[in-house]
Each structure stands twice: as structure tokens, then as C-alpha cells.
Amino acid sequence: MVVLAYAPASLAHGIHARALPADTPLAEFFRLGVVHMLGGYDHLLFVFGIAILFTRTADVIKAVTLFTVGHSTTLIVVTALGLKLSPTVVDAMIGLSVAYIGLEIAGAQGNRPNLRRTRIAILAFGLIHGLGLSTRLQDLGLPKAHLFERVLSFNVGVEVGQLAALTVFLGVLWVVRRGGWLERIKAPTGAVLRWGGAGICLYSVLLATTGTPV
């Protein structure tokens, strides 16, 4: 699953590669983490899918916590080891994660999702999303000095951005649920996530095989 090949970066992220000077402050890494999460539509789609999949807020929080544990683990470990991953392959797997959430939403209509199976899948996909985070961070020419502190600051920024997005999602879904529209929007939302995730995956595969955007 871990591909140690180089490939061009793809487009589902909110930060752009630029060399960071060695004296870049920790606050800048925090800011980049927030920007990455709020500009990374693949991550946002996955988190939104989690928010709409589960009926109980407690289940949403547990699932997002597992997702956080997963992506934080691979972000820190892979970056610390200096493993350079193929962005296109990682993005293809992230696309599959979005499609998976869409499939779960479709299968859970009128039923409670299989919590154990779904939580395991969310944790696993969190590990994959962490590979994407690590790749984007390393694309910035991460200074080696104080590496752990900088990666941790970036990760905290990611989590703050994710928390902000999740708060908005839950607020919107609360209004939707109060209006009695939640079940009506689940089917089209699941379809958008399935086809959107498949599109991200297909685009990434084409980019990996041709070497140029399509």
C-alpha cells in the first residue's frame, strides 16, 4: 500500500509546494495545517460522509476520533522516517475512501450501519489520508531542524481545521434533521460521494499512468 515512487502532485489539497526556509516558525506550520484541511476537499468529503452516515452525534465523534488517530499516526511516522510517497497513488486510495463512505450511506438508509466494521474501515482510511498529509507536507521542503515539533504543529492545525469543518457539518445537519429532510438527502449525498470518490480515483490513476493532467 505504501508506494515509494515519485509522481506529480495532484489537486485535491489546499496547499501548494514551495520551499520553506529553515527558520520557518511553528505558527506557520499550524497555519498550513488549517489551510490544508479546509482546502482539501477529499478530506472534507470524507468527514462530511461520516457526519451524515451516523444518526447519533456520539457515533459521529467516535468515528471522527478513529479517523484522526489514523491520519495523525501515518502523518507523524511517515514524515519522521522521510518516506516520499506517490501523491497520485495515495490520492487514488483517498478517492476510494470517499466512494466507500458513499456506499455506506446508501447501505445504511433506514438502518443503523454496522458500527464495528465501519469503524475499522474509517481507521484504515484514516491511515491512508495521513499518507496524503505527509506527502503534501514533505512537498514543502520540510526543514530537518525541530522536525517533530513542526510536524506536530502541522498536525494540530489539521485537527483544528477538521474540528471547525465538523462543527459546521453537524450544525447544518441538525437544521436538516429538524426540518425532517435528512432521510431525503441521504440518497443523493451518497451518490455524490460515490461518484465523486470514483472520479478522484480515476483521475489519479490516469495522472499516474500518463504523467500529465487530463
43 inside domain: yes
Dist. CA 38–CA 43, nearest whole Å: 9
140 inside domain: yes
198 inside domain: yes
Res 116: pLDDT? 87
16 inside domain: no
Res 113: pLDDT? 67
Amino acid residing at 67: F
Residue 167, C-alpha cell as written in the block: 462543527
Alpha helices in the chain (DSSP H): 26-39, 41-53, 57-81, 87-108, 115-138, 147-178, 182-210
18 inside domain: no
Q: Give per-residue pLDDT as tens, 59-79.
A: 999 999 999 999 999 999 999
For the chain, the domain total comes to 1
6 inside domain: no
19 inside domain: no
Residue 181 CB: number of other CB atoms within 10 A?
12
Closest to 162 measured CA to CA, from 12, 16, 38: 38
CB 146 within 8 A of CB 25: no
- How confident is the model over 181-209, as a mean pLDDT? 91
Q: Give per-residue pLDDT as tens, 14-55.
A: 455 566 666 788 899 999 999 999 999 999 999 999 999 998
Dist. CA 53–CA 102, nearest whole Å: 9
2 inside domain: no
Statement: residue 9 has pLDDT above 60: no
CB 122 within 8 A of CB 68: no
Q: Phi and psi at residue 2, in whole multiples of 5°?
A: -85, 120
CB 161 within 8 A of CB 37: yes
Domain ranges, residue 192: 26-209
